[in-house]
Amino acid sequence: MRKHDGDSETTGSSGAGVQSVDRAVSVLEILARRGEAGVSEIAAEIDVHKSTAFRLLGALEARDLVEQSADRGKYRIGFGIVRLASSVTDNFDVTQQARPFCEQLAEEFGEAVNIAILQEHYAVNVLQVRGPMAVSTHNWVGQLTPMHATSSGKILLAHVPEEERTEMLAASHMKKMTPHTLTAKGKLEKDLAQTLERGYAVTLEELEIGLHGMAAPIRNAQGEVIAAISASGPAYRFTEERMHELSPTLLRSAQDISRKMGYLD
C-alpha cells in the first residue's frame, strides 16, 4: 500500500482505478477553473505527491485532454476535450431542448412560436408550436424564409460578422415581400443595430401583410447564436406595443433554452 499526504490507495485494482479516475477528473476541473496550472499547484490542490500529479497529467496528455504550454511549462485543457464536448453537443438537439419552452410561450402568448436556424442565406424553421389563439394553420417547419423580412432572420443576421452578413444579403437579393419590407441595406443595418441593442428583433408586416413577429437569440455553450425563437401573430392583436410588453418573457425563454444548450451567461 502506498500513502500520499494522508490519502491511502487500496492495493485492489478496482479501488485504485476509481481513485485515479476521480483524481483525473479533479485535475480537469482545476484546469477548467484556473485556465492553467503547474504540476506543484495541481498536486497541492488534490493533496498528492508531485510525482502522482505528474503521472495523472501524463495520462491525460496522452489522450489530448490536457496540453503543456511550451513557454511556461504549465498545463491547460487540451483539444481532446473539445472533441468530447462536440459529441455531447450534437445530442442536445435545439428542437428537443426548446420544445417545452415553445409550448409554454405559445400557451401564454396565444400565438404561434417557432425555432429557426441559419441555412445559407435563409432562416429555416425547425419547430413550430401553435397557441390557442393562432389564426393561421400554415406550417412553417422546413420552409426557407428570407432573413431580412423575418424576425428570426433578423436576429440571426444581427449576430453574423458584417462581411459575412453582406455576402448573405447579396445572395438573397433582399426581395421586397410587402410594401413594408426593408430592402435598403442602410435601413436594414440600422434595424439590426437596434435589434442588438435591445436584444430582440421585431417585424411589422414585412413578410406578409397583417403579420407581426418578434424573435430572440439562442446560444450554444460557446456563446454563439445558433438559433432564434420567435412568436408571430396577426397585426390587429399582436401589435408592436404588445410585442414590446412581451419581450422580457421571450428573452427569458431564449436564455433558458441557451442554458439547456450549455451556455452560461
Query: Band of the pLDDT at 226, cuts 50, 70, 90?
Result: very high
User: Phi, psi at residue 230, to the nearest 5°?
Assistant: -130, 160
> Is 3-87 CATH 3.30.980.10?
no
Residue ranges of the chain assigned to CATH 1.10.10.10: 3-87
What element of type H or E holds 111? none
What class does CATH assign to 92-260? Answer: alpha beta
Residues 167-202 pLDDT 10s = 988 888 899 999 999 999 899 999 999 999 999 999
Residues 85-121 pLDDT 10s = 654 554 458 888 899 999 999 999 999 999 999 888 8
How far does the chain reach from its first CA to its final CA, in angstroms?
46
Nearest to 260 by CA among 218, 215, 216: 218
Amino acid 177 reads M
- 121 burial via Cβ count (<10 Å: 0-12, 13-18, 19+): buried
Would you state the cell numbers that stand for residue 203, as one nine-digit string? 417585424
Strand order in 122-129's β-sheet? 144-146, 122-129, 112-119, 225-234, 211-219, 201-204
Residue ranges of the chain assigned to CATH 3.30.450.40: 92-260
What pLDDT is recorded for position 198? 95
Q: Under DSSP, is residue 183 helix (H, G, I), strand (E, B) or coil?
A: coil
